[in-house]
Amino acid sequence: MGRGEREAVARGARLYEAAQAVGADHGRAVEAVRAALKPIHDAEVARELDAIPVARLQDVTEGRLRLGNVEKSGLGTVGRVLEAGPYRLRQIPGVGQRTVDQIIAAARRLSEAVHETVAVHIDVDRPEPGTTALVGALHVLVEAGPDARRAVDRAAALSERLGPLLADAGPVTGHLRMLLAGREKKARALAAVAGIRSLVDEAEQAGVPELLAQASVDLLRGSPSDVTAWVDFELRSAEYYSLLAEISGRQPDAAAAEGFLPDEIAERVRTQQLDDAHRRVSLRGYQAFGARFALAQRKVILGDEMGLGKTIQAIAVLAHLAAEGQSHFLVVCPASVLVNWTREIEARSALRVMVLHGPDRHHAFADWKGRGGVGVTTFDALRGLPVPGGGEVGLLVVDEAHSVKNPRTKRSQAVARWTERCERSLFMTGTPMENRVAEFRTLVRMLDDKVADSLGERDALAGSVAFRKAVAPVYLRRNQDDVLTELPSLQQTDEWEELSASDEEAYREAVREGNFMAMRRAAYLRPEKSAKLDRLREIVQEAAENGQKAVVFSYFRDVLGVVQAELAEGPTAGTPMLGPLTGSVPAGRRQQIVDDFAAITGPAVLLAQIQAGGVGLNMQAASVVIICEPQIKPTLEHQAVARAHRMGQVRPVHVHRLLATGGVDERMVRMLESKTRLFDAYARRSAVAEATPDAVDVSDTELARRIVEEEQARLGMADGKPTPAE
């Protein structure tokens, strides 16, 4: 055997060692999480058991136990019984060995049930050594990101294939071994060398050695400083909780995560592959299932409740199809979320994205048609774009699909034409549609005539077995309560909007005057054509459709007045509205308003000045928070959000910060983000900072002056005289 064979085996051995190392590094990182989780989980279980009265053991044994003497002895809870043990129980008068055995067996059954169901809550406001260790251990895996998971999967596959080949190729590593090997072993060794060479070449062409090396580096970084880990947890809590659920094995109920689909459809979806080569975000189990559902069923409606990540699931589908060789995709959405879509695709995938909107949309369309990528357009702009030929577009995504439920509108007709020409379509809506069979049938008909024809009025009852079975081929909806296994998380979304022409005109006037405060609220000065107000109304309406309460914060009383007037009309008119809470409302009256808000059954809206409602009032009845403009003091936003995201909140809190592109909002966000994140986090946890926010925030006057001067220069108004303070 020559040098070439030995070198091929050596290359295979190096790749095998790298794969084994990645697996071991990842295993150690996972074990570190489990080690940190166990004492916290055990303590939670103990607390839970100590809160269960010993009388509950009767339920487990169908009332056969006599527990009077046990309770009289001071063992009043299941936790105390388990702690006492058999010997202590036998000392109780009137309690025999058989009763002791039954009590212990029943208590252990309850303990096992609690172990399976109790969830660990990571309290960012009260960091303890145990939870700090857990967050630090999780940080290593979260920071390593999807590439590390991809590397671990590749490493496992390579190890499985290379291990046997390297064993069979052993004789070629030495002349004597090859001479002593029999004919069969020699043939097997040569075949193994060919297999190793092919595997290594394929891996090197795909960049696998570099992927494995980087993953090992990332997984061996070790835990960061405590403050760094906590800051990152605040920013990416959903990723931490997702990993925690996966490692602890406490995943949501499988049937709920799969939308209670019939077995034959669910099985088809489970076997659907999902390529993540072009994706830059990890998926939760139910999100991966949603993406597979869209791929397996080809034309579907994803109706997940707001906040479950429909956009991420759509991006996962786009990334998979791109990996399969598809080149052209189109996303259709309201103008208010167009910027969000482009930013999400850029951040969450490696796909090229192009906006097909505005005066240059036809040139952009020609460029997209020639070069490919993900085109993002609006419902109105879609009407002016030429309908593609069959097979040209790999996937059509229609966001806020309930907007096209009326077949007589031009936008609905345009979407229907495009859907007909596309082999795959993904309609998305967070608005529950089950009770609106006529409207729902319109959407379904664009995707599948047969399913639409099968929907009768008798199936209208939401969640009915008949309805779910009828729509299962095209419709998947999951609810937060069913699939989010952790305690309520905090999800923050920056809602970037493009100013309308009217908004832009009002903004320029404020810049020309050098009036910083007017610049901040310019997007609301002309409500009839306000892009921010349009998006705010959509968020409130979707929250109401899902039975959620919303709180709207603004620094400005006049902005709240505009919001109040706008929400009192149109689709949101029927939603109860309270406030506004302002600095002039007495403290006692403020609390009464909040109490009234909490007492309302179903959706409601509370309006509040952020400086008045952000301190001292508990608004945990709200699970949707809308901040109308970025604040000069970051502490104002943190305190306001904390009013809703606190103990007693039973649903995840979704924070929407309304931001306008290209002006004061972007400059404020950029300047405030340039401050050290660690300092901000430390200050937020400081008792002094909570009492005196001014102590840790940048100077209002200095920040305002800089922004006004930069905006005047950008817009060619450098001679203006800024008046930042009002």
* pLDDT tens by residue, 143-179: 998 889 889 999 999 999 999 999 888 777 766 566 5
pLDDT grade, residue 420 (50/70/90)? Answer: very high
Q: CB-based contacts of 225: which residues, under 8 Å, 6+ apart?
A: none
Reported as a single tens digit per residue, the pLDDT across 426-466 is 999 876 654 467 788 889 999 999 998 887 655 444 445 67
Tokens 């303070």 map to which residue?
A: 725
Question: So what's the pLDDT on residue 121?
Answer: 78
- Highest mean pLDDT out of 6-10, 184-188, 551-555: 551-555
Q: How far apart are the first and last CA of the chain?
A: 86
Question: So what's the pLDDT on residue 34?
Answer: 95
DSSP 8-state code for residue 399: T
Same domain? For 141 and 242 the reply is: yes
Same domain? For 465 and 593 the reply is: no
**CA neighbor of 697 nearest in space, from 640, 635, 641:** 635
Q: CB-based contacts of 177: which residues, under 8 Å, 6+ apart?
A: 170, 171
**CA neighbor of 284 nearest in space, from 261, 323, 256, 265:** 256
Reported as a single tens digit per residue, the pLDDT across 577-624 is 998 998 888 766 877 898 899 889 889 999 999 987 655 566 777 889
Reported as a single tens digit per residue, the pLDDT across 528-541 is 899 999 999 999 99
Q: Where are the alpha helices (DSSP H) in 249-325?
A: 254-257, 263-270, 285-297, 310-323
Same domain? For 274 and 246 the reply is: no
Strand runs labelled E in 213-369: 299-302, 328-333, 353-355
- Is 636 or 718 the better-scoring residue by pLDDT? 636
Reported as a single tens digit per residue, the pLDDT across 675-710 is 434 333 333 233 333 333 333 344 567 788 888 999
Q: Judge whether 607 lies within some domain.
A: yes
**Domain end point (choices 438, 454, 483):** 483
Please, are residues 552 and 568 in contact by the beta-carbon 8 Å criterion?
Answer: no
| Owning domain of residue 572 | 490-714
Question: So what's the pLDDT on residue 436?
Answer: 64
Same domain? For 668 and 533 the reply is: yes
**Domain containing residue 418: CATH number:** 3.40.50.10810
**Domain end point (choices 203, 218, 250):** 250
Question: So what's the pLDDT on residue 17?
Answer: 94
- What Rg, from alpha-carbon coordinates, does the chain have? 30
The mean pLDDT of the chain is 85
Q: Which of 249-258, 378-387, 674-683 shows the lowest per-residue confidence on average (mean pLDDT)?
A: 674-683
The tally of CA atoms less than 13 A away on the side-chain side of residue 714 is 14
**Domain end point (choices 250, 275, 296):** 250
Query: For the chain, what is the largest distance between any 2 Cα atoms, rounded to a whole number of angstroms?
Result: 96
Q: CB-based contacts of 262: which residues, under 8 Å, 6+ apart?
A: 469, 472
**Across residues 350-366, what is the average pLDDT?**
94
Same domain? For 388 and 502 the reply is: no
State the burial class of residue 650 (Cβ atoms within 10 Å of its Cβ: 0-12, 13-18, 19+). exposed
Q: Judge whether 160 lies within some domain.
A: yes
Question: So what's the pLDDT on residue 722?
Answer: 46
pTM to 2 decimals? 0.68
Reported as a single tens digit per residue, the pLDDT across 453-511 is 887 655 444 445 677 788 899 999 888 777 876 656 678 889 999 999 999 999 999 99
DSSP 8-state code for residue 252: P
Q: Judge whether 28 lies within some domain.
A: yes
Total domain count for the chain? Answer: 3
**CA neighbor of 404 nearest in space, from 459, 373, 435, 445:** 445
Reported as a single tens digit per residue, the pLDDT across 88-98 is 898 898 888 88
Residue 721 confidence (pLDDT) above 70: no
- Is 516 or 432 the better-scoring residue by pLDDT? 516
Same domain? For 221 and 277 the reply is: no
Q: What percent of the chain has pLDDT over 90?
A: 49
Q: Judge whether 723 lies within some domain.
A: no
